[in-house]
Structure 1
Amino acid sequence: MKIVSVEIFDIEMQEDIIIPWHPVLVRVTTDEGLTGVGEVALAYGAGHSAGAAATKEVAERFVIGANVWNREALWEKIYRSSFWAQCGGPLILPAMSAIDMALWDIQGKALGVPCYQLLGGKTNEKLRCYASQIQFGWSEKYEHLYKQQEYYDVTKKVMELGYTCVKVDPLLMDRQGKRHPSHTKYFSHEQIEMFRERMAAIREALGPSGEIILEVHSATTIPSALQLGEALEEYGIYYYEEPVAYHDSKLQDIVSRRSPLRMAAGERIFGRNGMRAYMEDRSIEVLQPDIGLVGGLTEAKKMCDYAYTYDVLVQAHVCGSPVATAAALHLETAIPNFLIHEHHSHALKHYNVELCDIDLQPVDGYFTVPEGPGLGINLNDDVVNRSPKVTVTQA
């Protein structure tokens, strides 16, 4: 079964939203008419158009005409022959990720089984999930919460939906609701008090048994990360996500040894080679690989198995379209070191949900994996075709 076309959709929002949101979706078609979907996980930040362009080039040079069943060989060929894949980073690997995801999807459809069966079967019947990024609210409307009462209210809201764990970045907005993305120096006393007020509100709403994941998006450096961890320890932090940048594993190592909090990272760690130092240093307890960045399900599964040998737990990073959610659910269903699933506030928004044919939402704080063949999800052509699209076919 050969690949005959690759469609790449660089999604443009049809309405104004507070922050840029551009999922890059891929559909691979075979000579037998089967299709598979994947995603380049660059929906946020800067770089989505580069990801789309890289996917086009990878498809032209390596993918068209390839045998769907030789997925591992194709992965290795792109990795070794594209030159830039071997240094990691968010260019070639995300393109490989989208193609790889689509091939798993096609193989599952061809065999009539869901992808988790191909990954080893069902280890986890139900997947506990957390409400991610509650500082943006938890509704159809995208908000920037900054008042203490708002943090209490949004926590109560997600608890009513069955969540018992939330993730929050309490640093993102100042007292006036203006966004502050970087905190490289020591915090002032007033700033620390503001962060403590927000965390206290969340803890009060959750009660003693709920969990709080502290996320700072690598906005802090070693001095401010350590200061923050000490200031917020009393609120019972489940784990501390991305306290430093990930261009140097020793930064994480220093923070992990000196902070009282458990550590998590992985969104900007690329593949097994990228994670090795963090495993050997024992500087993270929770690995957060993004399937749409590390090389697809092929590489993500290997990363999870590698983490298992170090007793490191896994929470896939998910911040994309429903395709990203579906892929993560299949992976997390299969692995024994699964901890919890990330359900992002973007996943609630109609502009994201409408990209696909099913709406993946948890029930009472838990997910079950789609049971259809492959990933169990398809693109909504009426919606994705409104955005720029490139189709790569055989010359």
Structure 2
Amino acid sequence: MKITHLDTVVVDFYRTNLIFVRLTTDEGLTGIAEATLEGQEHAVLGAVAVLAEAVRGKDATRITQTIYELNRDAYWRGGPVSMTALSALEMAMWDVSARALGVPVHRMLGGQVRDRVRAYANGWFSGAVTPEDFAEAALRTVGQGFRGLKWDPFEAADLFLEPRDLRRMLEPVEAVRAAVGDDVELFIEGHGRFDVPTAIRVARELERYQPVFFEEPCPPDGIDALVEVRSKSPVPIAAGERWIGRNTFVPALARNAVDYLQPDVTHAGGLLEMSFISTLAAAHYVPFAPHNPSGPLSTAATLQLGATLPNFRYLEIMATDVPWRSDISSERLRLTADGDVMIPEGIGLGIDLDYDAIAEHPFTPHPMRIFSDVVADIRPPDARSYFNLEGAGVR
């Protein structure tokens, strides 16, 4: 089964544009994957075009060999753009190979260890301003069935926070904890904002709210800083969404820099690399909690990993999304009343795209806003749930 074509499809998704990669073979089978990289869409499209020339005529089922040789032959290795393109190619090859056999991808990765994964919601807070707004949004999201909530309460903070600003920023955290009680898990995002002393101070203030973890307290290129913060933090530390490939994760694990590891299947190297990184984490008894704020194919691939990896602890997922998320693919996720997402059934990655629906939402520029005071505005006012809900009283 030879690769005849590799191309891309882009769809506007409010805060970013999703990039889907489509791999076509001479047997008429197509594999699909996601290559979304916020703010870098044009660069990724160029990187995929380079790969398209390199893989034409190659055996679509020889995944390990193809990815190894593409890495080996590249003079400039790594980086988010190249690795996002390469990750998508790898996932599309898994998808088409599994479709050829008529099995889900997880069957080829060792089979299932579970039929569901515990999820926590991101994006549930969009539009909230006051502590009361956050509390109300939290209660609505818990009413859907979610038992975990993540957000970044730190506005446009850059390295340092005045004590009065930190107190104000933590008011929504206090309101949410009071509203949902102790049985709902909270996850606090830092987006790599803080210097070492500020991150330690923030972590100590967060302890009273019992978060599962404090994510990316320092810039992602500073392992030394992360080690220092973790050594003094009373709450667990998570990181890894902006790390790429095993060579970044090995020193972080060796130096005990994290309590939770968060690689992203769309950037870290694809399914097999993620599986390898999870094994490294398991050797250090570090739970695996992949980053996953993107679209339906990123979620589909992450769920295939959730089915197979024993140390897979949490699935990050958006609680609501653009109204057309349910139109552009066959994604039909089931959220249980106790906060789990079921592993989808179906061959390959278990999902197909609707290209006519995608064409109705063409590319739209979206600048990144991590250091902006509108960072919380990550979903449109008409965002809606795209889950099939079980027993939560919401439809």
Q: Distance in 2 between matches of 1:133 and 1:274?
A: 28
Alignment counterpart, residue 363 of structure 1, candidates 336, 340, 343: 336
What is the match of residue 139 of structure 1? none
What is the match of residue 229 of structure 2? 255
Q: Distance in 2 between matches of 1:300 and 1:338?
A: 11
Q: Distance in 2 between matches of 1:351 and 1:49?
A: 23
Query: For 1:26-65, what per-residue CA distance to the aligned partner results, in whole angstroms no more than 9, with x for missing partners?
Result: 11011001111111131x3x212111111111111x2111
Q: Distance in 1 between matches of 2:357 and 2:270?
A: 24
What is the match of residue 381 of structure 2? none
SS class of match (1:260): coil
Q: Distance in 2 between matches of 1:321 and 1:350?
A: 13
What is the match of residue 189 of structure 1? 163
Alignment counterpart, residue 143 of structure 2, candidates 140, 149, 160: 160
> Is contact 2:334-2:342 (8 Å) kept?
no
- Note the C-alpha offset of 1:361: 4.9
1:188-337 correspondence runs (5 A)? 188-337=162-311
1:56-95 correspondence runs (5 A)? 56-60=49-53, 62-85=54-77, 88-95=78-85
Query: For 1:283-319, what per-residue CA distance to the aligned partner results, in whole angstroms no more than 9, with x for missing partners?
Result: 1111111111011112111111111111111111112
Query: For 1:121-160, what per-residue CA distance to the aligned partner results, in whole angstroms no more than 9, with x for missing partners?
Result: 1112221111114332xxxxxx2x2201011101111111
Q: Counterpart amino acid of 1:70? A: R
Q: Distance in 1 between matches of 2:225 and 2:334?
A: 36
- Note the C-alpha offset of 1:363: 3.0
Q: Distance in 2 between matches of 1:56 and 1:167?
A: 35
SS class of match (2:59): coil
- Note the C-alpha offset of 1:68: 1.1
Q: Distance in 2 between matches of 1:361 and 1:354?
A: 16
Distance 1:226 1:334, change over 3 A: same
What is the match of residue 43 of structure 2? 50
1:15-34 correspondence runs (5 A)? 17=14, 20-34=15-29
Q: Distance in 1 between matches of 2:267 and 2:332?
A: 23
What is the match of residue 36 of structure 2? 41
- Note the C-alpha offset of 1:21: 1.3
> Is contact 1:321-1:355 (8 Å) kept?
no
- Note the C-alpha offset of 1:329: 0.3
Gaps of 5+ in 2: 364-395
Gaps of 5+ in 1: 137-142, 173-179, 389-395
TM-score, length of structure 1 as denominator length = 0.88
Distance 1:385 1:7, change over 3 A: farther
Q: Distance in 2 between matches of 1:133 and 1:225?
A: 23
Query: For 1:174-200, what per-residue CA distance to the aligned partner results, in whole angstroms no more than 9, with x for missing partners?
Result: xxxxxx2x4212x22321221221111
Q: Distance in 2 between matches of 1:92 and 1:112?
A: 30
Distance 1:81 1:385, change over 3 A: farther
Structure 1 runs (4+) deviating above 6 angstroms are none
> Is contact 2:261-2:289 (8 Å) kept?
yes
What is the match of residue 2 of structure 1? 2
Q: Counterpart amino acid of 2:47? A: A
Query: For 1:223-256, what per-residue CA distance to the aligned partner results, in whole angstroms no more than 9, with x for missing partners?
Result: 2211111112100011111111121211111111
Q: Distance in 1 between matches of 2:309 and 2:19?
A: 26
What is the match of residue 124 of structure 2? 134
Q: Distance in 1 between matches of 2:123 and 2:162?
A: 24
> Is contact 1:135-1:169 (8 Å) kept?
no
Q: Counterpart amino acid of 1:184? A: L
TM-score, length of structure 2 as denominator length = 0.88
> Is contact 2:215-2:238 (8 Å) kept?
yes
Q: Counterpart amino acid of 1:64? A: R
What is the match of residue 379 of structure 1? 353
What is the match of residue 108 of structure 1? 98
Q: Counterpart amino acid of 1:2? A: K
SS class of match (1:208): coil
